[in-house]
């Protein structure tokens, strides 16, 4: 039994000690609070600060979901500290997932260990394994690892409460960080599968180093090519060369085919042109001039997922069900859920296409990892480096385009709309979902329905209409001012989510399709009549244009006014500057 704990089922005082309040930390925050525990957060800034937080909060247990440094001995010797390691029992080191992907492991896991002097070397409180998926590291982290870690932490706390002891991990192996040379792409040798595996093992951090158009960069967001260009077209290019473009991505030749590379972060001392910022951006924007000279290889928006037709693009529309009870499904898998002006315009056009189809229900599916995270802060930051443009102007264009998307959904008056959240949503991305008639999510989804963390941004996306109409005016204010993440179940209690079911992955999508089919078959026409009546009454009470105008007047002040908080916060966010303190609304002990 760790010192200071007696067997108990009482609510515990739990301190989440984390490098950042990232998706996993947020998921644990909502799950633990939902179980009645008292939870506070301290970002890992310095040993002295951690010691102070522990002294102030006097936690029963410290939980470390995501740390880059050791927990000070003065803390783990006094309080039991549970460290979440994204690796199986016996695995140790900072690149656990990277290496599992590189090795091509078919199964992986998460282990909750008690902190001791050595990294990942303590006794084991719980572990949960899962089958691996062919996906980027970040996606595995947000889905499989987060699910397994949540289960493992809950199990570990239960074992502590039951007075059990942690177990010896048995033989362990330390794996160091992956040196760049170990996973560098050898374009002359590596086949497409190898190139994909290497890129995915480093995506989103640190990104795989390579060169494109002679520029040092890190690449992300790689996708296989299923519809290949004619082999003759390949022959003219060397492996590693870009051959075509689509949306944000470049089609890069490999020895046996090609891969799409969607996002790039330029690096090195002398980027060309000098206006290139070290930010993760669409590949076609980083290499704007070179990409413009490449042929575009479009793919129809409306395409099935059957082999050969499901060639990658950010957007895809498909339909299912019999005539009269037909369901349209719109996927918009924007990288990291960030939606630039270009992406908003594409989505708006796709919604218009979907509207022209004979369906009774339209399901908005977002992406697998994120439904949406609102306007594209990296693209906005990058715009400031272009002559004649500014971050304020780019923010303005982006929010207008985002609002046009939301308006398209709000005014879809001839069918039911469903936002089905397969992944998390933040800021404007949440209100985009709330514009739909129904919002469905699985219990692992975390929502951040507020803007103020981004330099006190007021926000738009018609949130002043869609949030109070679901949650009521009082609760709406509490939600946006509270600035806390909400689990899907909690969001359902507050009226933001209509149905919470299934679990992360394909199972949720299957159930969404089946429920949408039922909706189209049984309820669609009467529900559409009811929504038309409500929309007309709402419009008579206050037009949508008035909500938009008022929100945008506030946003104008955020973008162009004398208070630069939004611009400062965005700069910190996109350049990932280290936190200097823990925000008060998270560190309740302070
Ligand atoms: N624009 C650009 N990039 C964004 C983004 C946005 N709106 N939202 C998230 N991202 C990026 C992050 O920079 C990160 O990039 P990385 O792959 O280089 O690490 C990635 O998406 C994942 O985000 P992260 O913050 O690590 O995810 P999280 O699950 O821990 O946190 C949020 C989710 C939504 C709380 C957080 O990303 C956030 O606050 N985003 C900004 C939301 C916002 O203010 N939007 C603008 C107003 S509408």
Closest ligand 1 atom to residue 399 Cα is: 48
Q: Which of 137, 170, 203 lies at the terminal end of a domain, its last residue?
A: 170
- Mean pLDDT value of segment 443-472: 98
The CB of 338 under 6 Å from ligand 1? The reply is yes
* Domain extent for 564: 315-574
Residues 268 and 347 placed together within one structural domain of the fold: no
CATH number of the domain bearing residue 248: 3.10.25.10
180 in a structural domain = no
Q: Is residue 323 packed enough to be buried (19+ CB in 10 Å), middle (13-18) or exposed (0-12)?
A: exposed
The CB of 586 under 6 Å from ligand 1? The reply is no
Give the residue from 423, 341, 419 showing the smallest Cα distance to 382: 341
Asked if residue 204 has pLDDT above 60, the reply is: yes
Q: Read off the pLDDT of residues 6-57 as tens digits, 9 standing for 90 and up.
A: 444 579 999 999 999 999 999 999 999 999 999 999 999 999 999 999 999 9
Helices assigned H by DSSP within 384-434: 391-410, 428-434
Asked if residue 1 has pLDDT above 90, the reply is: no
Nearest CA to ligand 1 atom 25: 22
Residues 103 and 66 placed together within one structural domain of the fold: yes
For 341-345, which contacts have Cβ atoms below 8 Å and span 24 or more sequence positions?
341/376, 341/379, 341/394, 341/397, 341/398, 341/401, 343/314, 343/376, 344/398, 344/401, 344/402, 344/404, 344/405, 345/401, 345/404
Nearest CA to ligand 1 atom 43: 427
Q: How far apart, in whole angstroms, are the C-alpha atoms of residue 108 and residue 100? A: 7
pLDDT at 306: 57
Measured in Å, residue 464 CA sits from the centre of ligand 1 at 22
- Mean pLDDT value of segment 137-162: 97
* Total of domains in the chain: 3
Residues 370 and 225 placed together within one structural domain of the fold: no
pLDDT at 227: 60
pLDDT at 226: 76
307 in a structural domain = no
Asked if residue 413 has pLDDT above 60, the reply is: yes
Residues 100 and 62 placed together within one structural domain of the fold: yes
Residues 53 and 141 placed together within one structural domain of the fold: yes
Measured in Å, residue 427 CA sits from the centre of ligand 1 at 9
330 in a structural domain = yes
Instruction: Say whether pTM exceeds 0.85.
Output: yes
81 in a structural domain = yes
pLDDT at 309: 55
Q: Is residue 278 packed enough to be buried (19+ CB in 10 Å), middle (13-18) or exposed (0-12)?
A: middle
Q: Read off the pLDDT of residues 414-457 as tens digits, 9 standing for 90 and up.
A: 999 999 999 999 999 999 999 999 999 999 999 999 999 999 99
CATH number of the domain bearing residue 398: 3.90.226.10
Give the residue from 494, 555, 552, 338 showing the smallest Cα distance to 426: 338
Nearest CA to ligand 1 atom 17: 204
Q: Read off the pLDDT of residues 6-18 as tens digits, 9 standing for 90 and up.
A: 444 579 999 999 9
pLDDT at 198: 98
503 in a structural domain = yes
Torsion, CA 551, CA 556, CA 557, CA 562, rounded to 10: 170
Q: How far apart, in whole angstroms, are the C-alpha atoms of residue 316 and residue 350? A: 9
Residues 238 and 383 placed together within one structural domain of the fold: no
pLDDT at 429: 98
Contacts of 460 (CB under 8 A, 6+ apart): 399, 402, 403, 428, 548, 551, 552, 555
Residues 326 and 469 placed together within one structural domain of the fold: yes
Give the residue from 55, 60, 65, 77 showing the smallest Cα distance to 26: 65
Asked if residue 112 has pLDDT above 60, the reply is: yes
Residues 345 and 436 placed together within one structural domain of the fold: yes
Measured in Å, residue 263 CA sits from the centre of ligand 1 at 15
C-alpha dist (Å) from residue 68 to 43, 48, 80? 11, 16, 19
Asked if residue 270 has pLDDT above 90, the reply is: no
Helices assigned H by DSSP within 356-427: 377-383, 391-410
Residue 428 phi/psi, 5° resolution?
A: -55, -25
Is residue 149 within 8 Å of residue 24, measured between CB atoms?
A: yes
129 in a structural domain = yes
Angle between helical axes of 524-541 and 506-522 (0-180°, round to 10): 90
Measured in Å, residue 385 CA sits from the centre of ligand 1 at 21
Q: Are strands 327-332 and 370-372 parallel, antiparallel or unpaired?
A: unpaired
Residues 121 and 197 placed together within one structural domain of the fold: no
Residues 162 and 235 placed together within one structural domain of the fold: no
367 in a structural domain = yes
Give the residue from 199, 219, 183 showing the smallest Cα distance to 135: 199
Q: Which of 135, 170, 205 lies at the terminal end of a domain, its last residue?
A: 170
Residues 323 and 399 placed together within one structural domain of the fold: yes
Residue 579 phi/psi, 5° resolution?
A: -70, 140
Which of 120 and 276 is assigned the larger pLDDT? Answer: 120
CATH number of the domain bearing residue 155: 3.40.50.170
Q: For 216-220, 479-483, 575-579, which range has the lowest pLDDT when averaged over its residues?
A: 575-579
The CB of 22 under 6 Å from ligand 1? The reply is yes
Q: How far apart, in whole angstroms, are the C-alpha atoms of residue 27 and residue 32? A: 9
Asked if residue 484 has pLDDT above 60, the reply is: yes
Residues 384 and 265 placed together within one structural domain of the fold: no
Is residue 363 within 8 Å of residue 330, measured between CB atoms?
A: yes
362 in a structural domain = yes
Measured in Å, residue 336 CA sits from the centre of ligand 1 at 7
């Amino acid at each position: 039994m760790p010192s200071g704990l007696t067997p108990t089922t009482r609510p515990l005082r739990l301190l989440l000690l984390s490098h950042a309040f990232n998706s996993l930390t947020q998921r644990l925050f909502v799950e633990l609070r939902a179980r009645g525990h008292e939870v506070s957060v301290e970002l890992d800034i310095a040993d002295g600060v951690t010691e102070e937080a522990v002294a102030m909060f006097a936690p029963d247990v410290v939980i470390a979901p995501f740390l880059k440094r050791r927990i000070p001995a003065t803390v783990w010797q006094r309080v039991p500290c549970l460290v979440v390691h994204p690796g199986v029992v016996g695995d140790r080191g900072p690149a656990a997932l990277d290496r599992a992907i590189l090795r091509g492991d078919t199964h992986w896991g998460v282990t909750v260990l008690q902190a001791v002097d050595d990294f990942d070397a303590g006794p084991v409180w719980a572990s949960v394994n899962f089958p691996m998926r062919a996906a980027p590291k970040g996606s595995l982290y947000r889905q499989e690892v987060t699910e397994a870690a949540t289960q493992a932490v809950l199990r570990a706390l239960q074992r502590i409460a039951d007075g059990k002891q942690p177990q010896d991990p048995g033989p362990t192996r330390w794996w160091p960080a992956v040196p760049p040379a170990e996973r560098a792409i050898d374009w002359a040798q590596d086949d497409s599968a190898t190139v994909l595996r290497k890129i995915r093992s480093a995506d989103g951090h640190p990104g795989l180093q390579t060169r494109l158009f002679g520029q040092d960069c890190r690449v992300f967001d790689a996708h296989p090519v299923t519809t290949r260009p004619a082999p003759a077209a390949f022959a003219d290019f060397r492996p590693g060369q870009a051959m075509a473009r689509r949306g944000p991505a470049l089609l890069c030749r490999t020895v046996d085919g090609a891969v799409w590379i969607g996002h790039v972060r330029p690096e090195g001392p002398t980027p060309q042109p000098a206006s290139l910022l070290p930010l993760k951006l669409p590949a076609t924007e980083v290499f704007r001039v070179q990409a413009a000279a490449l042929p575009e290889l479009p793919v129809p928006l409306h395409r099935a997922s059957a082999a050969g037709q499901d060639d990658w693009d950010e957007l895809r529309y498909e339909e299912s069900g019999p005539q009269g009870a037909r369901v349209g499904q719109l996927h918009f898998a924007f990288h990291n859920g960030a939606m630039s002006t270009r992406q908003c315009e594409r989505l708006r056009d796709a919604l218009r296409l979907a509207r022209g189809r004979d369906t009774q229900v339209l399901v908005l599916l977002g992406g697998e990892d994120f439904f949406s995270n609102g306007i594209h802060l990296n693209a906005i930051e990058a715009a400031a480096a272009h002559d004649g443009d500014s971050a304020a102007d780019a923010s303005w264009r982006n929010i207008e385009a985002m609002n046009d998307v939301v308006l398209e959904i709000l005014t879809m008056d001839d069918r039911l709309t469903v936002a089905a959240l397969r992944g998390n949503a933040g800021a404007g991305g949440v209100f985009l979902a709330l514009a739909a008639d129904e919002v469905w999510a699985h219990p692992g989804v975390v929502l951040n329905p507020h803007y103020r963390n981004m330099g006190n941004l007021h926000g738009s996306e018609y949130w002043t209409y869609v949030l109070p109409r679901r949650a009521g005016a009082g609760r709406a204010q509490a939600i946006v001012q509270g600035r806390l993440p909400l689990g899907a179940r909690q969001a359902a209690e507050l009226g933001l989510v209509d149905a919470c079911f299934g679990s992360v992955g394909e199972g949720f999508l299957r159930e969404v399709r089946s429920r949408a089919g039922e909706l189209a078959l049984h309820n669609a026409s009467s529900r559409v009549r009811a929504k038309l009546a409500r929309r007309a009454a709402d419009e008579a009470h206050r037009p949508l244009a008035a909500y938009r105008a008022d929100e945008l007047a506030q946003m104008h002040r955020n973008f162009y006014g004398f208070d630069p908080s939004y611009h400062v916060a965005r700069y910190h966010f996109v350049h990932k500057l280290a936190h200097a303190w823990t925000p008060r609304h998270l560190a309740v002990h302070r």
